[in-house]
């Protein structure tokens, strides 16, 4: 099922709070800087997450004459919600471009080994969908004019392009050419900027389980 925009907004908020406690204004600024596809309303997402117990207020800040700002942090339940939803989005065969983009923008919070495992599941599902689509295209070609199946041709090309990309990413992770340390990223996201030292992946409690 395709996630609603507000659910994707919640995933982004949880991912950013996984790094550090932040107030909504800072969350909004970071989303712009990192080009996160934040949809559905930031403040609405925070309110929903707060009511669900996934985030909680931890302090208030005031700068000069600016209004007081509430700082939020992710809870233990929020961490479980984040990693569970992220895994579902990454293993779901493509149905919505925005959902895929959102999940990939948060994949850095997973150890490379976990990311490879989830993307491997996605690759297998995608291969199955392409095979089924090929059979459908052959059936259309036998009984109808080609114009009746142009949407299938388009979908086939889109899925095959993603499959090619998935395979290349998985190869890079397996070879160690694409490597990162999610703990280091959460402590200082700036390490991902161009020119930063290569981040060696380290096992985490999540990857050991």
Q: What is the distance between the alpha carbons of residues 172 and 20, in angstroms, rounded to a whole number?
A: 29
Q: Which residue has the higher pLDDT, 198 or 106?
A: 106
Query: Residue 197: pLDDT band by 50, 70, 90 thresholds?
Result: low
Are 58 and 148 contained in the same domain? no
pLDDT of res. 194: 67
Tokens of 82: 């984040």
Tokens of 68: 């007081």
E strands, the chain, in order: 55-61, 69-74
* CATH code of the domain covering residue 69: 1.10.10.10
Q: Closest Cα to residue 123, out of 95, 91, 101, 96? A: 91
pLDDT of res. 62: 66
Residue carrying the six token digits 């200082």: 188
How many contiguous H segments (helices) and E segments (strands) does the chain have?
9, 2
SS (H, E, C) 174-199: HHCCCCCCHHHHHHCHHHHCCCCCCC
Q: Is the pLDDT of residue 209 over 90?
A: no
What is the average pLDDT value for the chain, to the nearest integer?
A: 86
Residues pairing with 22 in the sheet: 72
pTM as predicted: 0.82
Sign of CA dihedral 32, 36, 38, 42: negative
pLDDT of res. 118: 97
Are 9 and 87 contained in the same domain? yes
Q: Closest Cα to residue 30, out of 125, 104, 106? A: 106
Indicate the residue among 107, 130, 162 that finishes a domain.
107
Tokens of 186: 């959460």
The mean pLDDT of 59-78, rounded to a whole number, is: 84
The number of folded domains in the chain is 2
Q: Is the pLDDT of residue 63 over 80?
A: no
Are 99 and 157 contained in the same domain? no
Q: Which residue has the higher pLDDT, 16 or 209?
A: 16
Reported as a single tens digit per residue, the pLDDT across 107-123 is 999 999 999 999 999 99
Are 81 and 172 contained in the same domain? no
Are 102 and 119 contained in the same domain? no
Reported as a single tens digit per residue, the pLDDT across 94-103 is 667 788 888 9
């Amino acid at each position: 099922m395709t996630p609603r925009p507000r659910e994707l907004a919640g995933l982004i908020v949880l991912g950013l709070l996984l790094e550090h406690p932040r107030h909504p204004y800072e969350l909004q600024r970071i989303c712009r800087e990192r080009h996160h596809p934040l949809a559905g309303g930031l403040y609405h997402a925070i309110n929903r997450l707060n009511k669900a117990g996934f985030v909680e207020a931890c302090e208030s800040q005031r700068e000069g004459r600016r209004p007081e700002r509430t700082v939020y942090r992710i809870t233990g339940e929020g961490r479980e919600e984040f990693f569970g939803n992220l895994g579902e989005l990454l293993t779901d065969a493509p149905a919505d471009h925005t959902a895929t983009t959102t999940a990939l923008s948060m994949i850095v919070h997973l150890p490379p080994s976990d990311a490879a495992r989830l993307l491997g599941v996605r690759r297998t599902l995608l291969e199955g969908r392409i095979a089924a689509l090929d059979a459908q295209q052959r059936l259309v070609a036998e009984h109808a004019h080609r114009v009746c199946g142009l949407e299938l041709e388009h979908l086939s090309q889109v899925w095959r392009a993603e499959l090619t990309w998935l395979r290349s990413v998985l190869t890079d992770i397996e070879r160690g050419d694409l490597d990162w340390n999610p703990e280091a990223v959460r402590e200082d996201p700036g390490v991902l900027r161009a020119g930063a030292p290569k981040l060696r992946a380290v096992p985490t409690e999540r990857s050991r389980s």
